[in-house]
Amino acid sequence: MTTKLNYHPDNAMLVDFSAGTLDTAPSICVSAHLHFCEACRTELLSLNEIGAQLMAKATAVAIDDAALDSALDAVMAAIDQPQPVKPAVKDQPASSGFPFSIGKLIANAESTLTWKRLTSSVDIAQFKTGQKVFEVALHKICAGGKTPKHDHNGVEYTVVLKGSFSDERAVYKEGDFLMRQPGDVHQPMGAQNGECICLSALAAPIKLSNPLGFLMKPWLRINPM
Please, which residues bridge with residue 116 across strands? 124
Architecture of domain 103-220: Sandwich (2.60)
pTM of the entire predicted model: 0.72
Nearest to 202 by CA among 178, 174, 175: 178
Q: What is the per-residue pLDDT across 136-179, written as a single tens digit (0 to 9) for each?
A: 888 999 999 998 888 888 999 999 989 999 999 999 999 999 99
For residue 127, what pLDDT band results from cuts at 50, 70 and 90? Answer: confident
Q: What is the per-residue pLDDT across 6-34, written as a single tens digit (0 to 9) for each?
A: 999 999 999 999 988 999 899 999 988 98
Tell me, what amino acid is at 67?
A
- Going 92 to 98 to 104 to 105, the CA torsion angle's sign is positive
Higher confidence at residue 117 or residue 76?
Answer: 117
**Whether pLDDT at 215 is above 90:** no
Q: What is the per-residue pLDDT across 33-42, written as a single tens digit (0 to 9) for each?
A: 988 899 999 9
**Whether pLDDT at 209 is above 70:** yes
Q: Which element (helix H / strand E) includes 123?
A: strand 122-126
| pLDDT-above-90 percentage for the chain | 37
DSSP 32-77: HHHHH-HHHHHHHHHHHHHHHHHHHHHHHHHHHHHHHHHHHHHHHH
Nearest to 145 by CA among 128, 169, 163: 163
Give the pLDDT mean for 60-84. Answer: 50
Domain boundaries of the chain, sorted by first residue: 103-220
Nearest to 148 by CA among 195, 97, 81, 205: 205
**Whether pLDDT at 91 is above 70:** no
171-173 and 116-117 beta bridge pairing: unpaired
Residue 222 has a pLDDT of 53
CA pair distance 61, 54, nearest whole angstrom: 11
